[in-house]
Structure 1
Amino acid sequence: MAESMLRDRDQYSCSICLDLMKDPVTIPCGHSYCMACIRNYWDRDELKRSNCPQCRQNFIPRPVLNKNTMLAEIMENLPNFNTASPAQDITDPEDIECDFCMEKRARAVKSCLECRASYCETHLQPHYDFPALKRHKLVSAKNMPTCQKHDKLLEVFCRTDQKCICMLCLMDDHKGHDTVPCAAERGEKQVKLKTDKSKFDGKCKEKEKELCELQQTIDSHVNSAHRAIKDTEKAFKESVSFIERKCSEIIERIRAQEKADLDKLGGVREQLELEIAALRGQGDVLDKFLQTEDNVYFLQNIDNMPTPPGGEDCPSQLMELVNSFENVSKTVSEFKERLEGFCKQEADDILDTVSDLSTKTYPNLDSDFQIKIGNRVCVKSSVKTPKFNWGAHVTHKSIGVVKAVHGDTLIVSFPGHKNWKGDLSEMELVNGSFEQAEAPAQNNLIKVGDKVRVKPSVETPKHKWGGITHQSVGVVKSLDGEALTVDFPEYSGWRGIVPEMEVVPADDVSGLSTTNCSFNVGDKVRVKLTVQTPKHQWGGVTHKSVGTVKAIKDDVVTVDFPECKSWKGMVSEMERITSKDTKECFKIEDRVRVKASVGTPKRGWGSVSHKSVGVITAVDGESMTVNFPEHKSWKAAVCEMELASSADSEFYKFNFGDRVRVKASVGTPKYNWGSISHKSVGTVKALKLVVDFPEQSNWGGDPTEMELVP
């Protein structure tokens, strides 16, 4: 009998632990289990049910568990062996635990919709072996969705209430509702989801295409920038090379002319030296004759003595250096200023062109509308109070220009409020009708011939100031859409845009005249930056020169500049400067001296005098620090100083002890070579200009002919 039992060992195994039963008990339905297994199974039930794990029959109250002595005796005669396969451990947090593992919980591989339990591979075996369990529906391991009210599986979908219900709910709370099996409802909804997915896929492909186009645009933009950089470098290098070639040509021409002049003058000098030698010889004869004591000899030979040459024989007219190079230096200086002015204007135009590229931004992908730098915007009428408040003068009617976009935050320039901060969702683009209703077309307000000026609310015009100010008044020369050209006294042909300009009332056009402003004797003035060459020439004066008005007669003003006294200029070419402008005239490395009108400087003379010329090392508000040859780090008040003329600067550009030599471009020094040469290097002994060379001490030279030795 025991041998037959061994052939069908499964009937003596506990269906919970799948091992031979220990302390077997039989519950009222007739199924037998280990006492510990069935007790733990009931204790772990969340609903405190006492049902059979196999037939699902529920027992109320929980039956008393008594050991089945006959079955226990049979079990004692059976060998204790186990053939169950090992269960897999839980490794993923999303894994479902087996409901029947007692000690170490294993991962469930299947869930039974009938038993409403999950099983590992070991405890799932009875569902494959027992005919009653083979009819149960197994699915992948998952948490069993059950009805909280009836503790039944959710198998029906109520379309009326849009929720999953059990079969008992169908006969109870949802009676008469539109219901279908969950599988059928899923089939219909799955069709819609597939349609939505295809739309998502299509939209994704569109975005991928946009991304591809954007990448191509970026690549093209980068390549364009690189080409622009290369073209710019090439153009500027070629321009510099061209200027250097022209510079070399001019220098060669100057040196050739210098050599030709020196060759001509060399012959004159030799002739003069011969004549001097002849005159000295004749003078020696006369001197010797005068020393004779024989009166008779003296009287007999006096007629044979040489007579001095007549006026027509004396070389009284020396060849003048008509080919003076002072005019060349002056012309080169004027050329430099004109070239700098032209380059500055053209470079500003190029920079403006580069800046205009910032408005060509890619569409805002996170917004239904596109707001980018340069757009005209206003606050939406539906916004009662903006996120960052209204500010001083901003209203719903205010129209501003976007200056920057940082994520969802805009920086907007309104007429009454610069750098206003707003939220992107609160703003809207200004369309043509709104703008026309709220702000009449400026083109209709400004016309050719009107006197205009830059609005006070404009910090910097689109095309830069170019020498004009908010006080400048000009006449409109031409109009082209929003662009206009204005003739200002300070700048002829100035370019601007209509929204930045305003018409000047007739009673406020006091400054628009040929003189632009009235000067008084004693005013500080300078030549306007827009004047390339003054009517009466520069004469050593530059745009940086600051002078004092000495006299005014009609349209001519007489100015005392440090570089040129009693300089003549046209009133229309000059501008008055304030103390602030005077301070801005000084910069580090400028050469300055104490004004002649200053009796005693605020901080005393020290070793400095009116003739001293020094170099600015620092400017701090009203004070400056100057390095003089006689006094290092000399402190001065800005109002007491003036720029030194280029001539004075040449004499004071060297310090005591500097190592110097004669410039290679100097053919013959002003005071001759003496014992030195171009290779000689000496030390400055005195500033006007005495140098100790190894070959010759106390050599005198012209500072303009000397250079520092590196």
Structure 2
Amino acid sequence: MAEAMVEDQDQYSCSICLDLMKDPVTIPCGHSYCMVCIGNYWDRDEMKRINCPQCRQNFVPRPVLNKNTMLAEIMENLRNSKAAPPAQKTADPEDIDCDFCSGNGVKAVKSCLECRASYCETHLQPHFDIPALKRHKLVSATNLPTCQKHDKLLEVYCRTDQKCICMMCLMDDHRGHDTVSCATEREEKEVKVKTIKNKFEEKCKEKEKELCELQKDIESHVSSAQQAVKDTKKAFKESISLIEKKCSEIIEVIRAQEKDDLDRLGDDREQLELDIAKLRAQGDVLDKFLQKGDVYFLQNCGKMPNPSDDEDCSAQSKDLINSFKNVSKTVSEFKDKLEVFCKQEADDIVNTVSDLATKTNLDLDPDFLFKIGDKVCVRSSVKTPKFNWGAHVTHKSIGVVKAVHGDTLFVNFPEHKNWKGDISELELVTNSTEQEASAQNNSIKVGDQVRVKPSVDTPKHKWGGITHQSVGTVKTIDGEALTVDFPEYSGWRGIVPEMEVVPADDQVSATNCSFNVGDKVRVKLTIVTPKHQWGGVTHRSTGTVTGTKDDLVTVDFPECKGWKGLLSEMELISITDSKACFKIGDRVKVNASVTNPKRGWGGASHKSVGVVVAVNGESITVDFPEHKSWNGTVSEMELVSGANSELCKFNCGDRVRVKSSVKTPKYNWGSISHKSVGTVKALKLVVDFPEQSNWSGDPKEMEVAP
């Protein structure tokens, strides 16, 4: 009997103190409590309500509390016979002790900001049961930070001094400062931290996707190489000993090419795996950081890691899918022409294997790819067609082939009749693709956030002050015509095929433009005339924000104090802004948002890439291939990186030679050799060798000669 009572002792515990009842009393609803606990509970109720803590039944008047003698005897027997209570988890040195447990330190699970105390699971229960305590704010167990000067809880954040303070400090040293509650400041900064965490997760997913695609490419590449070896062996076994020798040479080249590719792809795979592990680790750090208390969070928020786009190293193996298929075809043709062209064809096979990275399905006869009447569109991988886009042709435009002349197609698009394009830039359109494109064009609705497609050079009704970066709201749609309200131009007219819906993430970044007092700003280059006029200010003027209200900002410019403008018309000037960090030798081009440079084009264009030769304040001097010593403005330029990195390592006049690791240059040897040293004539790359002038080469195959 006693053992059963011990095992079920929870039913004899007071729901207020969570211990066995002392001087138990039973109230009218039938529930029992310690006499002291229920009395204190009724006395502390701010609303002066007399009710049961469990069933909430109200009693009027207040019941008289009498000891339940029978229950008291049971409690006494239970105390005498009960086993020792289970041991609480003791606190480790780095843990917080419960302030209400006696003896050895017991680990606290929560801290109360109102009580300024930490509780274990047992002593925390009243905060969940007692209404008055339910309103207290609980946080993960932590050493509650207090003000060293006033011994008060730090619950206010001073934005002026960037520190946490107590209420006494607010009335003393920080009077008149910009202050908010720690919770409010945390909410604002927590959004930024969560945004950073989301970036880590997005990058992790991107890396995982790239890793999966890379694995498929490797398997396909290996399979393609194996098939090429098999076909090569079969063809050469039917030939004479001389051909068997050439067969071995070709197999060696295939194996070497396969090994080079797999070595490179293996490095890419390892890098992706390292990047994924790093991103996950940094994401875990942010998860733990988000569990910290307000003060610790605010004091260490700026030290948290942030993903950098500069560390991205995406694997590029798209050109390796089925890359060895053409070898089998070339070997079969070689067999038929063996007697006449033995040596010549064997060398061609070697060249075929070496050039696989640049081979495409367009090696086939183009007349068999497209026929008159076929429906075609521009490939999504083509940024600018060889003969330009024309009036309003885009990637989503679908036209009908009118004529085929060699590598050139003539297509009738709805936006441009008799459009001229290169056959390698076009692809066939199936019925499903056409339906998809049509549905996408019809998906724009009134109220959508839209912008001009990147492929549209000049809209049908002109720019009118907006740019590719401008985001506006669709006001009306009439057939293919639509009206859009942009910050730079209200009531702008355009056509549906020229526009695209802005993704949700871009909309957030486009609309959440805000500045703080003291920020350095300037008028965006895309603004032709600010809403409240220039007032002596120009695009080159740099001012300091002195105030913001709704969508208005007040700025002190050197040319105009108290200048007023719209938030959407302004942009922050960052110390790390690349436009302000050009160095002599950097490769630059005119920013795509600049319609006409301040000092004119002078033969250059948006596609021109030149080298910085001088920087003087806002003035910059650039050597373009089309115009030497071209003068421009720093704010009009942007750095060129990535694709031109190999080309950037050479300058006109440099002495160069072919790398010793290159067996056959991309554009063949001509009259030169590994020992030939020439002078760079043009950065495309054109070199004058003693053995051959105007020799063309691939920058990746070249090195500066000692």
Check whether TM > 0.5.
no
- The TM-score with structure 1 as length reference comes to 0.28
- The TM-score with structure 2 as length reference comes to 0.28
- Larger RCO, structures 1/2 (Cα 8 Å, 6+ apart): 2
Which one has a bigger Cα radius of gyration? 1
